[in-house]
Amino acid sequence: MEECIMEITSLLPGVKIVKEDGEVKEDVFISQGDKVKVTTVDETVTGTFMLVEFARYSEEDDILHMVRDEEGFAVPFDQIIDIVRAD
């Protein structure tokens, strides 16, 4: 049997976000470069998703990094109320 070797031409980091409300469960997948709308306790921000910085210790918070208006913007996960794709 001949083996087919494929070349990897693209690899995008991404995350799966699971949102639940009672019995309703929704999976949201976002990849680096996707437009997202993030609602926090203070504001709603639309920008380009870059990455999630996962906390090294349990007392730290994970941080979502995005770009808005050509500037980096970081949101701690404990401040996020909702995340949706803004396509």
* Segment 19-40, tens digit of pLDDT: 998 899 999 999 999 999 999 9
Residue 20 is encoded by which pair of tokens?
A: 């639940």
Instruction: Match 């009672």 to its residue by tokens.
Output: 22
Work out how many domains the chain is built from and give that number. 1
Cα–Cα distance measured from residue 63 to residue 82, given in angstroms and rounded to the nearest whole number: 14
Sign of the alpha-carbon torsion through 24, 80, 17, 58: negative
Q: Does residue 18 fall inside a structural domain?
A: no
Q: Does residue 66 fall inside a structural domain?
A: yes
Q: Does residue 19 fall inside a structural domain?
A: no
Structure-model confidence comparison of residues 6 and 37, the more confident one? 37
pTM given for the model? 0.79
pLDDT of 1: 67
Cα–Cα distance measured from residue 21 to residue 54, given in angstroms and rounded to the nearest whole number: 24
